[in-house]
Amino acid sequence: MNSAPAKIINTTIDKSNQFTNKATNPMDAFVTVAEMKEEARKKLPKMVYDYYASGSNDQSTLAENENAFTRIKLVPRSLVNVSKVSTKTKIYGQDLSTPIMIAPWAMQRMAHPNGELDTLEAAKEFGTIMTLSSLSTTSVEDVSKHSNGNPGWFQLYVFKDRKVSEDLVKRVEKLGYKALVVTVDTPFLGKRDADYKNQFKLPNGLFLKNFEHLLLSNLEGGLNQYMATMIDPGLTWKDLEWLRSITTLPVLVKGVMCPQDAAEALKHGADGIIVSNHGGRQLDTSPSTIEVLPAISKVVQGKIPLILDGGIRRGTDILKALAFGANAVLIGRPVIWGLSCGGKDGVLRVLNLLNSELQLSMAFTGMNSIHEITENIIWDQNKYIKL
Ligand SMILES: Cc1cc2nc3c(=O)[nH]c(=O)nc-3n(C[C@H](O)[C@H](O)[C@H](O)COP(=O)(O)O)c2cc1C
Ligand SMILES: CCCCC(=O)C(=O)O
């Protein structure tokens, strides 16, 4: 018997952040980040999809980033007035509609012709911040111009030739970027097997736009060789002081996975810490980010903003990160899939889905605002048996 094709029900999210079945945009057909990933897989060339999706080696950290969230249980609370749940928050004095920000990810024009510009538009429309990668396929100048001089944050890879990095820092400071995110987990690029097999290279017509003038903009020798040639593996904590001396922008350190490194970051004047294992793309078999967050939060003690990324695919994941001490989260792959599926509208859909799920899970745990969220909403058998 032939069964009729399943009817697609488009689900939109209304002003009070509830899911309803009124379609307004084709992107509303997607109800989960996982569905958007599957659509992106079908749409993108294999070489591009593999580069975006891959983790390093056996991809066990990539999987663990997601699985660790599922193992953590939340405690439902009843009869708390949750008629006015708000996800609003602030970072460095800037108002945000959500604690969800957009992680730096390289080469966005492989996902959509408008690349970084569409991601930025979605971030701004939603009331959040995008961090632009050093390795963008749109220049820092064009991104800034597109946002009327308010482009968000900038991610810095420190080059062997310090002058290249110093010039870039000066450029972004002048162009209105509001913070520098220095990535410290990439002295070399992790071994992502699929990129070797596919002999990854930038598709014709795309370039690393920030370095065109230096002839550092093509990747003919492959990603690993490019990074090994350009990036300084000799970077140390002392260089954080150098970086702070050449800019007035807040400097966040991205790629901290151990409490001792968090202490070093504080000692050397970091203005923020991003707990990250680079989305499972660097040291395989390192722990998930949510697992190490409590120990790092204990060191940071709220002195500077603490942000987590890695494996966030649901609103409940965000709630758990906030409960363990993060002030905000970054999302990487969900945005990649959103941009691939529908440009700006696709990224907006991802932000809407995750924020609505976050809001719903806040209501179920009796939380009305971001700053009320503590570890008390995490199920801990020992704690509850003792009560
Ligand atoms: C395709 C891709 C490119 C990335 N490029 C950069 C980059 O240029 N700079 C950087 O600091 N991190 C980069 N990252 C890491 C992300 O900023 C972030 O740490 C990671 O994606 C978070 O994990 P998630 O994808 O599970 O959300 C990249 C990640 C991916 C998947
Ligand atoms: C040469 C591209 C490196 C960008 C990056 O950080 C990543 O792919 O994880």
Q: Where are the domains of the chain?
A: 33-386
Q: Does the CB atom of residue 281 touch ligand 2 within 6 A?
A: yes
pLDDT for position 12: 75
Question: Which fold, 33-386?
Answer: TIM Barrel (3.20.20)
Q: Is 157 annotated as a binding residue?
A: yes
When pLDDT is cut at 50, 70 and 90, the band that residue 10 belongs to is low
Residues touching ligand 1 (Cβ under 6 Å) are: 52, 65, 103-106, 133, 135, 155, 183, 254, 276, 278-279, 281, 309-312, 331-333
2 CA to centre of ligand 1 in angstroms? 44
Phi, then psi, of 176 in degrees rounded to 5? 95, 10
DSSP SS3 for 95: strand
The reported pTM is 0.95
Q: Is 260 annotated as a binding residue?
A: no
Residue nearest to atom 27 of ligand 1 (CA): 332
pLDDT digits (tens, 9 = 90+) for 210-258: 988 775 666 777 888 888 888 999 999 999 999 999 999 999 999 999 9
278 is known as an active-site residue: yes
Do 192 and 280 touch, CB atoms closer than 8 A? no
pLDDT digits (tens, 9 = 90+) for 256-312: 999 999 999 999 999 999 999 999 999 999 999 999 999 999 999 999 999 999 999
Query: What is the 3 state secondary structure string of 319-386?
Result: HHHHHCCCCEEEECHHHHHHHHHHHHHHHHHHHHHHHHHHHHHHHHCCCCCHHHCCHHHECCHHHHHH
When pLDDT is cut at 50, 70 and 90, the band that residue 2 belongs to is very low
Lowest mean pLDDT among 42-56, 109-123, 194-208: 194-208
185 CA to centre of ligand 2 in angstroms? 11
**Whether the complex's predicted ipTM surpasses the cut of 0.85:** yes
Ligand closest to the CA atom of residue 227? 2
